Structure 1
Amino acid sequence: MTAPDDSHLKETVRSREELLRGNFLHVVREHVALPDGSPATREFVLHPGAVAIIPMLDDGRVVLERQWRHPLGQVFIEFPAGKIDPGEDRLVCAKRELLEETGYTAREWARAGVLHPLIAYSNEFIEVWFARGLTLGERQLDHGEFLDVITATPAELLEWVRTGTVTDGKTIIGTLWLQQVLAGAWTLEWRR
């Protein structure tokens, strides 16, 4: 497919100002020119990117986490995930996060794709990785990190998505990928 000409949609950045720089959030306001030349402002969160991992056990179950998410005041079921450190390779990040949060290491890895979960107000991306050939070791949780590691069959996970037990966006997208891979509709390139 040839890339379309998007020039009639593009906004041009004129200036940027920092609104907040916290320990986790970095919020900016950009002054832009719209395609017709008129001015507008855009406020959004800058994010270094993250990875999400779909860890597949040899018996067909997947590894998940239960973790408290303060902004919504509840526990969520999620695939393991974490923020990419400055300059960190994305696969290295995926391996680190899987070990830290679940205690598992994987023999093989495959990159599924990337998602942009918050396109209206953040530049965040999440790269999705599959992991298989898992070996359980000891978790290495970050200071202040508390979570439970659980497992589910793909059918259970799909049902949790359907019923609203799982509402986390990256986990729903990961479940779609998992469903398509297990059905043979989408292929992955595994590497050791």
Structure 2
Amino acid sequence: MDFAEKTTHTKNVFKGHLISVDVEDVITPEGHHSQREIVHHAPAIAILAITDDNKMILEKQWRSPIHATTLEIPAGKVDSRDSADPVHAAKRELNEETRYAAKKLTKVSSFYTSVGVLDEFMTLYLATGLTPVQNKLPQDQDEQLSLMKVSLAQALKMIDDGQIQDAKTIMAIYYWQGMKRNG
């Protein structure tokens, strides 16, 4: 069965600092005409940072799309400073947001964050052997972060209690839980 749609026309309707939005006219495999609204975003990274005392680093920050603060793992986009290298972006974001460097940075998985509307492709890394950075990179001026460290049991309870609702963070916590089960 063929699932591919044929794009007949694309119009960019918005271009901003973080995203751009296209409206595509498409023909479905059955010959129906439809429109697709697509949000384009740079590739991104996220980091499950585990301290030597076996706690994960979470960031509390304001998120305008939901008009609320969230608890999330460190994350950010791969940008011009990274030469399209997600590992470099992960190291940079870890420095900027937590002021730690990792002795070991391991790729966990790569995934699309919301395929129904967004083309953002994120890579999740596990960071261990954390040490304070010697050279602090400048933090983004539009971010205000508060860090906290929690155990796996605390993180799982925070999911159950609705304190953690961010998908990448929930995925990282469940990955961490699986690591513990599998040794």
**TM-score of Structure 1 vs Structure 2, range by shorter chain:** over 0.9
Indicate whether 1:125 and 2:116 are aligned.
no
Q: Which amino acid aligns with 2:28?
A: L
Q: Which amino acid aligns with 1:171?
A: T
Per-residue CA deviation, residues 103-159 of structure 1 (Å, 9 max, x unaligned), is 000000110001222111111121100000000234631122210111000110011
**Equivalent residue number for residue 170 of structure 1:** 168
Cα offset, 1:81, TM superposition: 0.1
**Equivalent residue number for residue 33 of structure 2:** 39
Indicate whether 1:72 and 2:66 are aligned.
yes
Equivalent pair of 1:20/1:26 in contact (CA under 8 Å): yes
Q: Which amino acid aligns with 1:132?
A: T
Cα offset, 1:38, TM superposition: 2.1
Consecutive unaligned residues in structure 1, runs of 5 or more: 1-6, 186-192
Query: How large is the RMSD of aligned CA atoms in angstroms?
Result: 1.4
Q: How many residue pairs end up in the alignment?
A: 179
Indicate whether 1:50 and 2:48 are aligned.
no
Q: Which amino acid aligns with 1:116?
A: Y
- TM-score, normalised via structure 1 length: 0.88
Consecutive unaligned residues in structure 2, runs of 5 or more: none
Distance in 2 (CA, whole Å) between partners of 1:154 and 1:140 is 30
**Equivalent residue number for residue 182 of structure 1:** 180
**Equivalent residue number for residue 161 of structure 1:** 159
Counting aligned pairs with the same residue, the percent is 31
**Equivalent residue number for residue 109 of structure 1:** 105
Per-residue CA deviation, residues 18-37 of structure 1 (Å, 9 max, x unaligned), is 01011222000111110112
Distance in 2 (CA, whole Å) between partners of 1:16 and 1:67 is 35
**Equivalent residue number for residue 8 of structure 1:** 2
Distance in 1 (CA, whole Å) between partners of 2:4 and 2:64 is 36
Equivalent pair of 1:67/1:75 in contact (CA under 8 Å): yes
Distance in 2 (CA, whole Å) between partners of 1:59 and 1:160 is 19
**Helix, strand or coil at the partner of 2:118:** coil
**Equivalent residue number for residue 79 of structure 2:** 85
Per-residue CA deviation, residues 45-103 of structure 1 (Å, 9 max, x unaligned), is 00112100000111111111011111211111000000111442011100000000000
- TM-score, normalised via structure 2 length: 0.93
Distance in 2 (CA, whole Å) between partners of 1:129 and 1:94 is 8
